[in-house]
Chains A and B, each alone.
Chain A
Amino acid sequence: MGPNLLANYGEAVSAILFCIGFTNLLLQTNLIKKIIGLNVMDSAIYLFLAEKGYIAGRVAPIVVNGVTSTEAYINPIPSGLVLTGIVVSVSVTALMLSLTIRLYTRYHTLDLDEISAQLKKEGK
Chain B
Amino acid sequence: MTAFQIILMGLLIICAVSVSFSKNLLNAILIYMSFSLVMSMLWICLESPDLAITEAAVGAGITSVLFFVTLKKIHAIEAAEPEEKEESKDE
Taking beta carbons and an 8 Å cutoff, which residues of A are in contact with B? Answer: 9-10, 13, 16-17, 20-21, 23-24, 28, 30, 32-33, 35-37, 39-40, 43, 46-47, 50-51, 53-54, 58-60, 62, 74, 78-79, 82-83, 86, 90, 93-94, 97, 100-101, 104, 110
Contacts and interface: CB of A to CB of B under 8 A. Distances in A.
Given A82-B51, A83-B50, A83-B51, A36 B29 contact: yes
Given A10-B9, A100-B70, A59 B47 contact: yes
Interface in B26-62: 28-29, 32, 35-36, 39, 42-43, 46-51, 54-55, 58-59, 62
Interface of B: 5-6, 9, 12-13, 16-17, 19-20, 25, 28-29, 32, 35-36, 39, 42-43, 46-51, 54-55, 58-59, 62-63, 66-67, 69-71, 73-74
Contacts of B42: 47, 50
A39 B62 CA distance: 13
A74 B49 CA distance: 12
A60 B20 contact: no
Given A20-B16, A43-B59, A9 B28 contact: no
B28 A36 contact: yes
15 contacts: A10-B5, A24-B20, A30-B25, A36-B29, A36-B32, A37-B19, A37-B20, A43-B36, A53-B46, A60-B47, A60-B48, A78-B48, A79-B50, A79-B51, A86-B58
Contacts of A110: 74
Contact of A101 (B12, B47, B51, B73): B73
Interface residues of A, dominant DSSP = helix
Contact of A79 (B36, B48, B67): B48
A17 B50 contact: no
